[in-house]
Amino acid sequence: MASVSEMYDVGWEEMRDKLRKWREENCRNSEQIVDVGEELISEHASKLGDDIWIIYEQVMIAALDCSRDDLALTCLQELEKQFSDSHRVKRLSGMRLEALERYDEANKDYDAILQDDPTNTAARKRKISILKAQGKSAEAIRELNEYLEQFVGDQEAWHELSELYINEHDYGKAAFCLEELMMTNPHNHLYCEQYAEVKYTQGGLENLELSRKYFAQALRLNNRNMRALFGLYMSASHIAASPKVSAKVKKDNMKYAAWAATQINRAYKYTDTLKRHIVHLGGHAEAAMKQYPLPVFDSGWLVAGPRRTNAP
């Protein structure tokens, strides 16, 4: 099998820089990381210098994702040789045990870290992930709540909690978590959109109005968020169709829905012009259309979206 450097004709510096880029952007493309990283550490270890330790960590976590236990073990052993008493390495060893489903041993590792350093957030989060992996979502939620009482600023944790609540269909509490995220990241259109979706799912006239507002806000922050556009259309038409609203509200919402519908049509016409443009460019139009039949957006999330519509 051809190596990465042969296939793409790149040197080790480019591979190292690519790994750094993935590290900084927190990408989870584990297979690619394993391919590039494995070759880098086996062929070019001496040239990397001190970078190699963080690459070991990155490759190890990616290897656990791809079930490459052999590679993970090698990386871990190198790290343990170099940093014998480190909490960070201990956490990695715990993660490996988690991947092998030896949860009790992993928990022992994390407890040892916490005894030494009670402010260590990584170990506490791993313990919560163990509970989640074992399917004990109620306990995971409880532990995560306690964690958040101590560390109110941890945005990753708030997001994880909102996801757990959505899975339990506790939309009120999920909305609370998303509000925290919206406050700390007021310009992130994805949090607005997810909050709007949760409100929409909760249902009821007030929540529908809120959801319409937040879909509009998401669109204002990012004009290209198609999901928010569809959400705006659906919430507005839902409110307009409800029997309990006043005439003025009905008229306003129908206006919003009509506007949203026009924009959606415009977006699809935009695809058409692009399709013709691609055909002009030559050959790859079919492949392109097959791969991207719908607008591409950078949301990447799937939430319990508006599949249930409660009658207002």
CB of 293 to another protein, least distance (A): 11
CB of 179 to another protein, least distance (A): 5
- Determine contact, residues 45/76, Cβ cutoff 8 Å: no
In terms of CB distance, is 11 or 134 closer to another protein?
11
In terms of CB distance, is 139 or 298 closer to another protein?
298
CB of 84 to another protein, least distance (A): 18
In terms of CB distance, is 92 or 216 closer to another protein?
216
CB of 256 to another protein, least distance (A): 6
CB of 223 to another protein, least distance (A): 4
Q: Under the rule (CB under 8 A), what is the footprint of another protein?
A: 4, 7-8, 10, 14, 18, 32, 35-36, 118-119, 149-154, 176, 179, 182-184, 186, 210, 212-214, 216-217, 219-220, 223-224, 229, 256, 259, 263, 266-267, 270-271, 274, 278, 284, 288, 291-292, 295-297
CB of 26 to another protein, least distance (A): 17
In terms of CB distance, is 134 or 262 closer to another protein?
262
In terms of CB distance, is 14 or 170 closer to another protein?
14
In terms of CB distance, is 103 or 259 closer to another protein?
259
